[in-house]
């Protein structure tokens, strides 16, 4: 399996820091990214969609609490979970401290008084004890890795038997696509203002461009359906949909029409769905705080539950301490913490 490397992670951190400056502190960093007003409009739409989708899952008797959201960015979707759906004490995870920190701002913008627990960590090594979380979800996240399998295996590991995993807004490979010319940055004004005809032509012939890739972030929209099937193989039950335009939608594993499946396969599009881990779900009355394990001990193959010490957490085995800074809990192994956030790591160590 191909895995994300440190340069990709550092690129995520650096790019998201610049977005924070532009969208929270109103400093012009990019001419071809959304400003504060622009991103707020986008987030509002995403929050409304999340509320509708999660309400539908609830109607199917799927337990959503306690949840973890992977790749939560600004925590807008977790804010919906906490405030609109009344799910207390879920966790929003991201590798970007700045994005998680921006949750405070968006709570005020969208009048969402309750915030999720925020954890800055590595999705490749989730800091949760095995078989502890009943519901995991993510949007626009799995394609930021060379392959989704390492991440879905981690998700499967931390899920309770009988628990569910939901994902959406992920791309799969467009077979009928030739990169004949280089496109403008996807969020530039000229790109967003293209005509319908130009957008249709670009879909088949444009080599798309974005600032994320320039910063070393993986934007993998060429994930084949074979790779997606491999990534979801561990789950007992799966309802996975391919959506390629309004007209071509097909179940990945059990298509009703071979022709519709073929069209969706050739044209590419969005993949989403719900997966269930085998087993009987039992409510263990756990909170997120008593599922957290020491990331440094895990590097040595041990799952050691952390002890809360005021706002920080302490490992009773190796005595390493994990800080809470601006309401964001850092849960990296010490080596990874120092590598990705050297200033924060050394400042914390010197206290």
Residue 207: the pLDDT is 86
Residue 283: the pLDDT is 67
Q: Which domain holds residue 241?
A: 6-172+216-291
Measured CA to CA, the distance from residue 179 to residue 68 in angstroms comes to 37
Tokens 């099937």 belong to which residue? Answer: 229
Total domains in the chain come to 2
Residues 192 and 241 in one domain: no
Residue 206: the pLDDT is 84
318 in a structural domain: no
pLDDT in tens, the chain (351 residues): 788 899 999 999 999 999 999 999 999 999 999 999 999 999 999 999 999 999 999 999 999 999 999 999 999 999 999 999 989 899 999 999 999 999 999 999 999 999 999 999 999 999 999 999 999 999 999 999 999 999 999 999 999 999 999 999 999 999 998 887 888 878 877 788 788 888 878 888 888 888 898 999 999 999 999 999 999 999 999 999 999 988 899 999 999 999 999 999 999 999 999 999 999 877 667 799 999 999 999 999 999 999 999 889 999 999 999 999 999 999 999 999 999 999 999 988 877
User: Which two three-digit tokens encode residue 171?
Assistant: 């791309």
Residues 209 and 220 in one domain: no
322 in a structural domain: no
- Tell me which H or E stretch contains 244: strand 237-244
Residues 128 and 249 in one domain: yes
323 in a structural domain: no
Residues 96 and 242 in one domain: yes
- Read off the pTM: 0.96
Residue 327: the pLDDT is 95
337 in a structural domain: no
Residues 232 and 166 in one domain: yes
Query: Cβ(150)–Cβ(113) under 8 Å?
Result: no
User: Which CATH number does the domain housing residue 246 bear?
Assistant: 3.40.50.150
261 in a structural domain: yes
Measured CA to CA, the distance from residue 158 to residue 127 in angstroms comes to 9
Residues 151 and 187 in one domain: no
Residues 163 and 192 in one domain: no
Measured CA to CA, the distance from residue 256 to residue 165 in angstroms comes to 23
Residues 247 and 265 in one domain: yes
Residues 89 and 145 in one domain: yes
Residues 79 and 146 in one domain: yes
310 in a structural domain: no
Residues 68 and 84 in one domain: yes
Q: Three-state SS across 9-46?
A: HHHHHHHHHHHHHHHCCCCCCCCCCCCHHHHHHHHHHH
Residues 165 and 120 in one domain: yes
User: Which two three-digit tokens encode residue 197?
Assistant: 């005809």
228 in a structural domain: yes
């Amino acid at each position: 399996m191909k895995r994300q490397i440190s340069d990709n992670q550092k690129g995520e951190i650096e790019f998201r820091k610049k977005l924070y400056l532009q969208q929270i502190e109103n400093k012009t960093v990019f001419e071809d990214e959304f400003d504060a007003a622009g991103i707020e409009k986008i987030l509002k739409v995403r929050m409304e969609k999340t509320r509708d989708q999660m309400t539908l899952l609830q109607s199917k008797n799927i337990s959503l609490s306690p949840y973890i959201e992977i790749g939560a960015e600004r925590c807008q979707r977790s804010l919906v979970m906490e405030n609109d759906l009344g799910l207390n004490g879920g966790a929003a995870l991201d590798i970007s401290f700045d994005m998680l920190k921006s949750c405070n701002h968006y709570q005020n913008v969208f009048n969402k008084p309750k915030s999720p627990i925020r954890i800055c960590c590595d999705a490749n090594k989730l800091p949760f004890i095995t078989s502890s979380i009943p519901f995991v979800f993510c949007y626009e996240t799995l394609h930021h890795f060379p392959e989704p399998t390492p991440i879905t295996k981690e998700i499967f590991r931390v899920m309770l038997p009988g628990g569910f995993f939901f994902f959406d807004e992920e791309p799969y490979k467009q077979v009928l696509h030739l990169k004949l010319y280089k496109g403008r940055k996807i969020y530039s004004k000229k790109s967003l203002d293209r005509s319908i005809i130009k957008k249709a032509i670009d879909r088949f012939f444009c080599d798309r461009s974005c600032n994320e890739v320039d910063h070393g972030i993986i934007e993998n929209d060429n994930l084949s359906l074979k790779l997606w099937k491999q990534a979801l193989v561990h789950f007992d039950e799966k309802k996975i949909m391919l959506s390629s335009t309004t007209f071509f939608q097909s179940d990945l594993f059990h298509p009703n029409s071979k022709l519709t499946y073929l069209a969706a396969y050739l044209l590419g599009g969005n993949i989403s769905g719900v997966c269930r881990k085998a087993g009987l779900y039992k409510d263990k009355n756990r909170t997120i705080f008593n599922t957290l394990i020491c990331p440094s001990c895990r590097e040595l193959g041990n799952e050691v539950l952390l002890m809360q010490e005021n706002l920080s957490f302490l490992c009773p085995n190796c005595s390493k301490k994990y800080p809470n800074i601006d309401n964001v809990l850092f849960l990296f192994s010490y080596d990874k913490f120092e590598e990705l956030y050297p200033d924060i790591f050394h400042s914390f160590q010197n206290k």
